[in-house]
């Protein structure tokens, strides 16, 4: 599969996050998957890309011109699309994907996750979407999702349409089965 990964452009405080980003990259390569991501060399994004490349698989990046210097575009990718707008970047990140994974990250990661997840619920695509809840990082978000359901702003398909896993092997097993 081509798997699009959304994750922090920063490494985050918890050292387990960067270790998990590297391990996800290794596992993607070992399982024969290629990576699609936002094209940066920094943070968790750079760590996933480097380990997929080290595992001998392809990595496709997409980054808007304005972010090339800010996020330090990765210069060793199989292919780097430098585009004009964030919308073009996101069209590549979703169009090239067979499945999506979100690792810990900040507001950009959240925005990207919510777009592909809500679009799946609306039936615009049928690709699996998975969230790695490493060390409970996303517990407050999962509580907010439960709140949306109990407040009747969303139905329980909100949770059935999102694979939530605490470790990488479980996440990839469930993502591959869903595909
Ligand atoms: P962050 O999780 O905030 O570190 O951002 C992760 C990635 O999401 C980075 O490559 C950002 O450029 C990107 N990003 C930030 N804001 C947005 C947004 N509104 N839509 C799509 N991507 C974004």
pLDDT tens string 16-39: 999 999 999 999 999 999 999 999
- Interatomic CA distance for residues 102 and 105, integer angstroms: 8
Q: Say yes or no: CB of residue 56 within 6 Å of ligand 1.
A: no
Backbone dihedral region of 103: left (phi > 0), alpha (psi from -120 to 50 degrees) or beta?
beta
Residue of higher predicted confidence among 110 and 122: 110
Q: What is the CA(67)–ligand 1 centre distance, in A?
A: 10
Residue 128: the pLDDT is 97
Q: What is the CA(69)–ligand 1 centre distance, in A?
A: 14
Lowest mean pLDDT among 50-64, 79-93, 148-162: 148-162
Q: Which of 49, 83, 112 has the most ligand 1 atoms within 8 A of CB, as the residue to mutate?
A: 112
Lookup result for tokens 């011109």: 65
Q: Say yes or no: CB of residue 64 within 6 Å of ligand 1.
A: no
Q: Hey, whose CA ends up nearest to atom 23 of ligand 1?
A: 108
Q: Say yes or no: CB of residue 4 within 6 Å of ligand 1.
A: no
Comparing CA positions, the residue from 146, 39, 31, 145 lying closest to residue 98 is 31
Predicted TM-score (pTM) of the model is: 0.96
Q: Chain-wide mean pLDDT for the chain?
A: 96
40-59 burial: b if 16+ Cβ within 10 Å, else e: bbbbbbbbbbbbbbebebeb
- Interatomic CA distance for residues 9 and 63, integer angstroms: 12
């Amino acid at each position: 599969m081509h798997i699009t990964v959304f994750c922090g452009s920063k490494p985050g405080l918890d050292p387990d996050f960067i270790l998990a980003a590297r391990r996800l990259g290794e596992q993607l390569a070992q399982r024969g998957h290629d990576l699609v991501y936002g094209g940066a060399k920094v943070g968790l994004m750079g760590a996933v890309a480097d380990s997929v490349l080290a595992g001998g698989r392809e990595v496709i990046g997409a980054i808007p011109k304005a972010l090339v210097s800010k996020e330090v575009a990765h210069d060793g990718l199989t292919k780097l699309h430098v585009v004009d707008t964030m919308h073009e970047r996101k069209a590549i990140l979703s169009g090239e994907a067979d499945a999506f994974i979100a690792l810990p990250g900040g507001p950009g990661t959240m925005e990207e996750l919510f777009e592909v997840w809500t679009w799946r619920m609306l039936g615009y695509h049928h690709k699996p979407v998975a969230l790695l809840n490493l060390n409970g990082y996303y517990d407050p978000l999962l509580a907010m999702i439960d709140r949306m359901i109990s407040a009747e702003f969303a139905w329980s398909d909100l949770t059935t349409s999102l694979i939530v896993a605490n470790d990488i092997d479980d996440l990839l097993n469930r993502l591959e089965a869903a595909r």
